[in-house]
Chains A and B, each alone.
Chain A
Amino acid sequence: DTEVTQTPKHLVMGMTNKKSLKCEQHMGHRAMYWYKQKAKKPPELMFVYSYEKLSINESVPSRFSPECPNSSLLNLHLHALQPEDSALYLCASSLNPAGPQPQHFGDGTRLSIL
């Protein structure tokens, strides 16, 4: 069992819908990450939050909007997505943004865009 919890596990949405992905960790980690993973490929970094502030945006389209309400929660708001956005969305966390501590991943949300 992972200590990073992601909900929902699966999500199917139309291109005009608005939905949100949620991620939660209670390990006291102060860095949280969103990744996108296509089949048979490694995860690709989307966003990094450090001490609840957005520190890295890897040129992600604005139809993806991250939010970090507190140190335990990370959301990814989705709006007007495209079929090519269908993928596994992974959340990860690490203890200290400035240190070498490894990232721990959740099990992801499998997103399908109709």
Chain B
Amino acid sequence: GQQLNQSPQSMFIQEGEDVSMNCTSSSIFNTWLWYKQEPGEGPVLLIALYKAGELTSNGRLTAQFGITRKDSFLNISASIPSDVGIYFCAGQRVNFGNEKLTFGTGTRLTIIP
């Protein structure tokens, strides 16, 4: 199935650094979601965005819904060891009933001590 372009594919950063990742699509979405997945666990919802231009924070995490509706960004400030994992964006077109999620390819975050 279709996947969103997510970049970077992987990041190796030092503790305390800020992180930025983004997702782009050729199609418009009206909902953007950001999930984090750790080994042995399912994806955990971090932030949900419902309006173009919306900027939403969850602690050290901030995500934005792009104005064009074709992209979204996630920033993590002052990274800590527990931020390690794979981050997935997901877009959703909500028209009527059972709208599928289209996932990004994932960004693997590794923190160097």
Contact = CB atoms under 8 A, between A and B. Distances in A.
Interface in B26-45: 30-31, 33, 35, 40-45
A84 interface: no
A98 B96 contact: yes
A51 B24 CA distance: 32
A106 interface: yes
Contacts of A45: 1, 100-101
Interface stretch (B12-20, B71-79, B103-111): B103-111
A40 B1 contact: no
A6 B41 CA distance: 11
A103 interface: yes
Q: SS class of chain B's interface: helix, strand, loop or mixed?
A: loop
B42 A105 contact: yes
B45 A50 contact: no
Contacts of A99: 94
Interface residues of B, number: 29
Given A100-B92, A102-B48, A56 B100 contact: yes
Nearest to B47: A102
Contacts of A98: 94, 96-98
Interface of B: 1, 3, 30-31, 33, 35, 40-45, 48, 50, 86, 88, 92, 94, 96-101, 103-106, 108
Given A31-B98, A107-B41, A108-B41, 11 more contacts: A2-B41, A2-B42, A4-B42, A40-B108, A42-B106, A43-B103, A50-B97, A55-B98, A100-B30, A100-B92, A108-B42
Rank and list the top 5 A-B pairs by shortest CB-CB distance, nearest first. Answer: A42-B103, A105-B42, A100-B94, A100-B31, A107-B42
